Amino acid sequence: MSKKYFGTDGIRGKVGNYPITADFSLKLGWAIGRVFADEGKNFVLVGKDTRISGYMFESALEAGLSAAGVDTHLLGPMPTPAIAYLTRTLRAQAGIVISASHNPYYDNGVKFFSTQGTKLADELEHKIECYIDKPIVTVDSAKLGKAKRIEDAAGRYIEFCKSTVPSTLSLKGLNIVVDCANGATYHVAPHVLEELGANVTSIGVEPDGLNINHQCGATQPQKLIDTVLKEKADLGIALDGDGDRLIMVDHQGEIVDGDELIFIIAKSRTAENEKQAPIVGTLMSNLGMEHALEKLGLSLIRANVGDRYVLEMLKQHNALLGGEGSGHIICLDKTTTGDGIVAALQVLTEIQQTGHNLHDLKQGMQKYPQILINVKVARKVEPLTIPSIQKAVTAVEKALGQEGRVLLRASGTEPLIRVMVEGMDEKKVNDYAQQLAAVVKNSISA
């Protein structure tokens, strides 16, 4: 059964446009409260990132939960993975995250974690939607939910992050620039690194409610690159607004993306285990990563694009490491969800234990040129059901052989066909991508 409000990762949109409104959030809080009141009396954690609308949605959700008779424990600005961790360790009934991740300040959203710190089951999301469509009924005054703030939330999470690396690890001698995207990690990530001994230069740590992800962070790392080169730092760490995405920069100012970071972490683990579970990527993961992992004796399994699908595939194959080129990296042996700080610490551990710098560690993987063209279409259609497109794709795949890859897929949110070609020769890859894009445009319009 399809969902009316929930997407693949909660509910998200532009603030002020339904359903990202104060009145809907009140109703959503009540609906969540009713579902969890049915499950038994307990409290719900609520955390947020630093965008200005978080104040409004936090208050609305709290009011709705109270009306349903459920207590609220407020965390304030905290990274999404921190809320997952605290939901689990504080034995909350659920965790609510008010965030639009890497989006601009004028967007916001709400996503949820179960008491185990994992994504909510579809069954619970359906139940919540059923209550949203019912009128609010407030419990008796004596049964209204109460609210309180968790004062030591940041400290608890800092200690957790440090616990994911060996107790003997010291980052002493490393000069690190960390960009917190003026988001939820601004008061956490620098402290984690400093307490492990690193010399830290922090940028993107002055949130004002409007500057989250603005010309900073994992999606726009130029400021981090400039600062790493200016400070002559050993490396840079870029997180996004809610802290679940990681991009790094080496001492030469070169970006190290999610695929390369997953390779580095995977390689570090092959030294510890003779036999390792497969690595999970996505349909967009670079072919160079797949070939580099094969040389390590590791297989790559591709999930649909989205960290939710990566997580599902990890569990399905009893795997522990996966993620996306965009920087969502999940280390299931360390935590239950994608965590930018935890992933960065795994890479830093490899740097300190091997004595190799980040630039050297990424050399084991050669990224193949990857061209992505978005073709606007007038109607929704699966491109490979059209014979002319299928024929063109087959011809390009044959020409590329084992040294390239083609992917065509319809966007789930926009009237677009995404045409992706990758291979060893950048000019050929670009030419093939342009050819396929033209075939897609002509075939669908015809």
Catalytic residues: 101
User: Kind of pairing, strands 175-179 and 235-239?
Assistant: parallel
Distance CA 84, CA 116 (A): 8
Please say whether the beta carbons of 227 and 201 come within 8 A.
yes
Query: In three state form, how does the secondary structure of the chain look?
Result: CCCCCCECCEEEEECCCCCCCHHHHHHHHHHHHHHHHHHCCCEEEEEECCCCCHHHHHHHHHHHHHHCCCEEEEEEECCHHHHHHHHHHCCCCEEEEECCCCCCCCEEEEEEEECCCCECCHHHHHHHHHHHCCCCCCCCHHHCCCEEECCCHHHHHHHHHHHCCCCCCCCCCCEEEEECCCCCCCCCHHHHHHHCCCEEEEECCCCCCCCCCCCCCCCCCHHHHHHHHHHCCCEEEEECCCCCCEEEEECCCCEECHHHHHHHHHHHHHCCCCCCCCEEEECCCCHHHHHHHHHCCCCEEEECCCHHHHHHHHHHCCCCEEECCCCCEEECCCCCCCCHHHHHHHHHHHHHHHCCCHHHHHHHCCCCCEEEEEEECCCCCCHHHCHHHHHHHHHHHHHHHHHEEEEEEECCCCCEEEEEEEECCHHHHHHHHHHHHHHHHHHHHC
Burial of 44 (0-12, 13-18, 19+ CB in 10 A): buried
Distance CA 48, CA 58 (A): 8
Residue 425, φ and ψ in degrees, nearest 5: -100, 110
| Distances in whole angstroms, Cα of residue 434 to Cα of each of 335, 414, 418, 437 | 41, 20, 12, 5
Radius of gyration of the chain (CA): 23
Distance CA 19, CA 54 (A): 15
